[in-house]
Amino acid sequence: MKNSVDKGRGAMYVASRVFLGPDTVLSPGAVSVSAGTVIAVGSPRDAERSLPSGFERLEFPGGAILPGLVNAHTHLQIPRLSPPSGDSRSAFVDWILRVIAWKRAAPPGEYRRNFEEAVAGALSAGTTSLGEISGPDAAVYRDCPLRARVFAEGIGFAPEAAGPVLAAVEAAIDQLEKSDGETGGRIAPGVSPHTLYTVGPALLGLLGGLAARKGIPACLHLAESLAEMEFLSTGGGDVADRLYPAVGKDVSWFRGIGMSIPRYLRNAGLLRKGLLLVHNVHLSREEIDALRRGGARFVLCPRSNAAHGNGSPDVTHFVDAGIPFALGTDSLGSVPDLSVWEEMRAARSLYRGKLTDRELCRALFRAATENGSAALSLPGGALRPGDPADFVVMDDAGGEGSEASIRNLVDRAGKRNIRLTVVGGSRRWERA
């Protein structure tokens, strides 16, 4: 991993093609950077005219520069785990129990080692920003080279757990705010009520209130599995019969939420602008639309959903209804790598609408860049003067016009094509 930092002298990156975003491509193009910020974009000649002397000029013939990818949902501290097996209901609960067992037995230092491996993999695949569910070792985020929204996670279903968990989440946010200062503003805090089947009504309301009070986003895993949906509907199934007994908890008092998911989240004070919903596999189209009207944004993780036998998100509806969505890989415990390129291709394979393939690829590229930044309330996602210098230099995939060239990227791009990953003007990863 490279850590050379632009300390203000500045550099101009010149390539055969520059993607300013999903809709604008320059060929050739240049991006000029100073003090971690994009200060000029345009043709090489135009960009150079506006620069003072002393700028370093870096040439990438046959290369393309594009906004860094945004992996909007990760768990960087979870290790690689073998895929689950069995039917879709029991396999997912089995996997959750394996994660719990791992956390209880993990030796000192493992969280950091997992984190560093995951970060290196993300950078090498062209990711510059991510949405992270905070792991057990909160100190690792002080050393995170990526831009990140780190959601402090709260778990507690019983009413008596709500107060202590809220206090722990508040303390974690305080630590994340300190990390933000130590990383020069790259780390921003958020709140994560884990899921509706691990966060009871009392804690859900408290965490929603905390997010609103501090003006930070909230992130919730939602409608990921059939086991989850059964528990929310009836209070029974594998979550009640296997998951909670395994951790020594009694949830026999719970009989389901007794209302629609949008109404439940609204009553908890959580359904508002700044709510980020992850997975969304088992929501109806009507529920998706209602959540969107309430201010929610969405992250889809199609490879993780497939790995756990949980089904597939309704990519067609999100695309055709014009509902902004982002893409996330989930953890290395669920997928073989943290490549957002692979997530784009997985989402592409699920689409059954009427867009041409070129139009679809542009929508997926938008999901992986500017939609991801917007969902996480982070800057970036495009190359514009004044934005953070978060971008990737990679092999040009060819194609005439923005739609054809983006389709070629979605077709072909991967870790092997990445030449350089820059975050905040710092060259964080370079191909040997």
CATH code of residue 64: 2.30.40.10
What's the pTM value of the predicted model, to 2 decimals?
0.95
Could you tell me if 261 and 132 lie in one domain?
yes
Could you tell me if 20 and 145 lie in one domain?
no
Could you tell me if 173 and 303 lie in one domain?
yes
pLDDT of residue 2: 45
Span 212-237, average pLDDT: 97
Could you tell me if 150 and 193 lie in one domain?
yes
Best CA proximity match to 163, nearest among 206, 220, 216? 206
Number of domains the chain contains: 2
Q: How far apart are CA 404 and CA 178, in angstroms?
A: 44
Best CA proximity match to 1, nearest among 125, 120, 148, 126? 120
Domain boundary, last residue among 375, 391, 408: 375
CA–CA distance from 314 to each of 160, 173, 404 (Å)? Answer: 37, 33, 25
Domain boundary, last residue among 375, 401, 416: 375
Domain boundaries, position 334 = 69-375
Could you tell me if 365 and 243 lie in one domain?
yes
Per residue in 135-172, pLDDT (tens digit) is 999 999 999 999 999 999 999 999 999 999 999 999 99
Per residue in 31-64, pLDDT (tens digit) is 999 999 999 999 998 888 777 777 899 999 999 9
| Burial 312-326, CB ≥16 within 10 A → b, else e | ebbbbbbbeeebbbb
pLDDT of residue 126: 98
Are the beta carbons of 88 and 309 closer than 8 angstroms? yes
Q: How far apart are CA 370 and CA 67, in angstroms?
A: 9
Are the beta carbons of 288 and 280 closer than 8 angstroms? yes
Domain boundary, last residue among 350, 375, 400: 375
Could you tell me if 295 and 408 lie in one domain?
no
Max Cα distance, the chain (Å): 71
Span 308-335, average pLDDT: 96
Are the beta carbons of 325 and 372 closer than 8 angstroms? no
- What tokens were used for 318? 């999100």
Q: How far apart are CA 295 and CA 299, in angstroms?
A: 14
